Amino acid sequence: MLRTARFIAVPVALLLTAFAQAQDNLTELSAAEAANLIRAGKLKSEDLVKALADQIEKKKDLGAFITFDREAALKAAREADALAAKKKFKGPLHGVPLVVKDNIHVAGFPNSAGTPALKDFRPKKNAPVADKLVKAGAIVLGKTNMHELAFGITTNNAAFGPARNPYDPKRIAGGSSGGTGVAIAARMAPAGLGSDTGGSVRIPAALNGISGLRPTLKRYSQEGITPIAHTRDTAGPMARTVEDLALLDGVIAGGKGTVAPASLKGLRIGVHKAYFFKGLDAETEKMTLAALDKIKAAGAEVVEVDMPGLADLNNKVSFPVALFEANVDLAKYLKKFGIPLDVKGVAAQIKSPDVKGVFEGVIVPGAAKPMPPEAYKAALATRPKLQQLYADTFAKNKIAALAFPTTPLPAAPIGDDEKTKLNGQDVPTFPTFIQNTDPGSNAGIPGLSVPIGRTQAGLPLGLELDGPAGSDRKLLAIGLALEKLFGRLPAP
């Protein structure tokens, strides 16, 4: 049913200014700006789709997409324009092009989850998270590249090629939602969807200089998404502006009204340096502390907090849950969607050595070192203690959020799949990059990454805010305030 949706009220003068600034480059428009201009009759969806499609084709070497359908997107844009000409709008995203990670079902597109065994699987209907966006008028440009089966943080995908950081194509895009991060940063789309199990939205957001939200667990439906672990998995929006994150979150979760920037004056932000600032790259630490100084200068209180036992609690939950549930949940998924393979059959075709090693060594039935059921049960029993530690930290210190560098270091070189350099020393790539994003993931709380600047080498860095369970919209309000404070990064 077509309807006139609740929409963001923007003065016509501001709309015209945005349009004038974008005349030469429509690819710079945010999703909210594009939606408003389309609704005001100042922009045709077809023109925007053409501009973005040209950019996708021009920058195809960045490896952002697994599937891209120019003609289907243009057809959908013309249909959106025909409705707009009659002043009929599907919803707040009418005619706005977005991208979707290739493990989130979109009818009409293959859903490979970045792995050869699933490359011909075409879902018959949208995942609920994608369906909400489509019903609100969004146009799906294509399905984005990802770390194979979402089991990693580099998106160095041996089956479909690596996603390359647009600020330095020799560097990783982060993962596992690396393709979505690249597409948005490289101006191939204003916004889109990733998924996050231990950092897979926030890590590529940080490394590509954009913003990303991991919502409170179960805030978004998990249906129609190739799984790792139901105790940890969630889809999450990614965009160049926090306003766009709020827009997509509102559409998906049904949030009422818009989000206004929070007042930083008197806002209490917690910092737990013993864990989240441990072993940081020197430049990352310097830039993060400078960002916190800016927040303090704007009137916020940055307070030191203690979270005793955080590392131990997280370690007891993290891998036992993911590695045990991966086999069970993937098997259920394959059966539910009529895919004529079992977990072993999927694993047999995995191309990326790091992912193949994990599946064959731990996950497939009959693996050499499977995760014991006892360890999984112990992890589930420990998880409430981790959640309570976070709840107590927020409540006792009266803080709205915890702040820390999203990643301990900037983007590593492509090929550093097992080890990378940190302050001149070899460190394991995967556990190092998820160090700071993992605990909040296991606690199921919301996490927001916003860009704070670029290193001397030009590589983006992000600051993460983790908030209490259910505080997603408040976290976005703080993010809006920080975005004004730090500014947005220029295009690559």
| Residue numbers annotated as active site | 101, 176, 200
- DSSP β-bridge partners for residue 162: 156
> DSSP labels for 398-458?
T-SEEEEESSSSSPPBTT-SSEEEETTEEEEHHHHHTTTTHHHHHHT--EEEEEEEE-TTS
First and final C-alpha spacing in the chain: 40
- Tell the residue number behind the tokens 């957001």, with chain if given: 205
Residue that the structure tokens 């990352």 belong to: 284
CA atoms of 24 and 2, how far apart (whole Å): 32
Task: State the alpha helices, DSSP H only, in 213-352.
Answer: 242-253, 273-276, 282-297, 310-336, 343-348
In angstroms, rounded to a whole number, what is the distance separating the alpha carbons of residues 350 and 338? 20
Q: What angle do CA 397, 400, 404 make, to 5 degrees?
A: 90
Return the amino acid letter for 198.
Answer: G
Binning the chain into helix, strand and coil, the percentages to the nearest 5 are 45, 15, 40
Q: What are phi and psi of 209, to 5 degrees?
A: 75, 30
Q: What single letter denotes the amino acid at residue 69?
A: D
Chain centroid offset of residue 368 CA:
33
DSSP string, 243-258: HHHHHHHHHHHT--S-
- Residue 448, classed as helix, strand or coil, is strand
HSE-CB for 138 with a 13 A CA cutoff: 28
Q: Which residues pair with 464 in a beta bridge?
A: 404, 449
